[in-house]
Amino acid sequence: MEQLLGWGEDHTFDCKRLGKLDRALETVVAFSNSDGGHLVLGIEDPAKGKGHDRVYGIQEHPEALDDFRKLIETRVTPPPTGITWSPVACTLRDGRSGSIVVLSIPKSLQVHSIVGDGTFVRLSHSNKELVASEITELAFARGATSAEVQIVDVLLPLLDTPVWRAYANHRHLTRPLGESLEVMGLAKKGVDGLPRPTKAAVLLFAEDPSGLMAAKAHIRVFHYKGDHVVHGPDPNLLKPPKTLGGPLIRQIGDALEYVVDELATGVRMGPHGFEIVQRYPVRVLREAMTNAVIHRDYHLEQDIQVRIFDDHIEIESPGLFPGPMTTTNLLTAGPFNRNSLIVNHLREFPNPPNLDAGEGVRMMFQTMDKAGLYVPIYWTGPSLTRPAVCVYLLNVARPSVWDQVNAYLERHRMIANENLRIILRTDDTLKASKLLRGWVKHGLLVAINPKASKRQRSYTKPGMTPNTGLFSLGDGK
């Protein structure tokens, strides 16, 4: 209970008394439409009370709990699934024995609304009601709707390219182009009865998809000197950015080849005068590049960005994680494709880039671990200020103590100086602080309470919800 009372309301945590059910219902919908979260019933808002005086318990309105269950089932459309209700015995503010209830609400595959009220998402500390255009954007962001199925005003003969012919020959397709695309779900008849290609078809087969659709569908590679971007009149780019276009399968191959060449070109010296040896496994780079291309949100007018630094690579793909995916359940949630057409047809090309059948992320973790490097770190909203997923590959040898810290974080979701000293079996607070600072510098950890003293400061991994160590969101952790 003391731990619960210590948490402030944030992107994934909220407290409500059982009096006003409409606000609690908004939070259930907002968490479902965002990244999931925990709603505690029976505890007052931290802004309206302090300490144990906030603990009213469900005994304040015992009949309201059943009413709230019915509201979720009857007023939310479509009804959310997977919510767990966990009663927790406690001492109430007046000294009596009672209980609170913690709702663990998973991130949903769908977009949920309250009948006669509205559609809500969760911000950093509160809920926001969406207008119609924002609801449409949310459907794209979650993968409930995909831009790949949209019909585009592109003439079919422009897709009769060497890439299409290689694909058709490999699959032994003998029908005319338009008919073949229509049978495969890559074209639909317009009002004039003539087939029109989908965005997926243009991305897969056109020589210049971005030009034909007047859209941003490139990969841009930026190579920087140092370990961060320097803005201003003297940027730290080693050379002008490289833009890679063309059909998706060519983009993946060209981008991988360019990045590998950049890593192998020239000798880079670290801050202490030692040569920097690039140790990224090519298989990991290929998978990260492929994932960025096939899972991005093509509704967004943004290019994929690859940023090469002395000690790490960032691959940023436009769009948030689709469906139930989060940074903390990547290895357990199973595959979920935002762009099923693109994924399915890329697999049918000669020498397809994506052969891991849903095991790609797990392969990346295992390969980096085997190479003695840190496993990939994934960033997304709210850690990023833009709608994107960024995978962070660190070219730094992994000390064995990090494995223990990483395992501790998977269980407890947060770590402090005291916890690290127990792992290290030392009383040296300075040694523990130095390690924590180093992991923060490399982007492996972020401070939960950065204004606290160094001894009281707690840390978690980027994108990891620290308070979910109390109650599971069903992600297998």
- Residue 356 binned pLDDT confidence (cut-offs 50, 70, 90): low
Higher pLDDT, residue 48 or 186: 186
Q: What is the pLDDT of residues 450-464, one digit of tens each?
A: 877 777 789 998 877
> Residue 420: what pLDDT?
92
- Residue 322 binned pLDDT confidence (cut-offs 50, 70, 90): confident
> Residue 357: what pLDDT?
57
Taking residues 97-125, what's their average pLDDT?
A: 94
> Residue 355: what pLDDT?
55
d(CA 473, CA 470): 10
What the chain holds in terms of domains, given with CATH numbers, is 2-142 (3.30.950.30), 147-213 (no CATH), 219-394 (3.30.565.60), 401-469 (1.10.10)
Q: What is the pLDDT of residues 236-287, one digit of tens each?
A: 999 999 999 999 999 999 999 999 999 987 545 444 444 445 689 999 999 9
Higher pLDDT, residue 264 or 166: 166
Give the range among 54-68, 157-171, 382-396 with minimum mean pLDDT.
382-396
Taking residues 465-471, what's their average pLDDT?
A: 53
pLDDT of residue 156 exceeding 60, the answer is: yes
Higher pLDDT, residue 24 or 412: 24
Q: What is the mean pLDDT of the chain?
A: 88
